[in-house]
Amino acid sequence: MTQVVANAGAMTGGTLVGYFSQTLGRRFSIIVICIVGGALLYPYTYTSSKAVIAAAFFEQFCVQGAWGVIPIHLMELSPGSLRTFVVGTSYQLGNLASSASSTIEATIGERFPLPALHRGKTTVKRYEYGKVICIFLGCVYAYVIILTLIGPEKLGRNLDVAHDSDMAEVTHQDLRHHHHGGDDQAIAHEKSIA
């Protein structure tokens, strides 16, 4: 049940934060939703009752809200010839970095032991993984906030190939004289940020 609720939170967060980032800005949306997600870490990681369902919904709302906006933000920042490379490589490098997460969490978890459970002749070691997840997610949120804060914003950048200065160079076109549906302002904007 908790996983279903968390998935619903992720889908809702990605959709709503992505939609509102169109008007509020990508950087602002990412930073605010990371701060909210950080504030929700305590109830998410330290609740042991069924109340964890609400915390899981809102935490996953924040996680997917932030990480759902990051790819389009990266596309707006990247030059046309490197857009898919930047986003795809960032995604795969993120997967590479996060592949060690379970090992890191298990190692940190050993620093926070709980009383062992005794079941007959067997003893089960336990660790306070709630605290580990709280520390780990807190560091990730802080990292994303810092990187987003120091970076630029290019909200509304026209990503059409017709407005791509790299493609215009390859095809020997002059974007200043290229009229595509009367979109002169978008062309001028693209030239100014190129």
From 69, 64, 74, select the one nearest 154 (Cα to Cα).
Answer: 74
pLDDT-derived band at 123 (thresholds 50, 70, 90) equals confident
Local structure of 85: helix, strand or coil = helix
**pTM of the entire structure?**
0.76
How confident is the prediction for the chain on average, in pLDDT?
A: 83
Contacts of 174 (CB under 8 A, 6+ apart): 168
Sign, CA torsion 46/49/51/54:
positive
Task: Write the pLDDT tens digit of every residue in 149-168.
Answer: 998 888 877 767 666 666 66
pLDDT > 60? residue 189: no
Residue 55: Cβ within 10 Å count: 21
List the Cα angle 80/73/9 in 5-degree steps: 140
Read off the tokens for 138: 């807190």
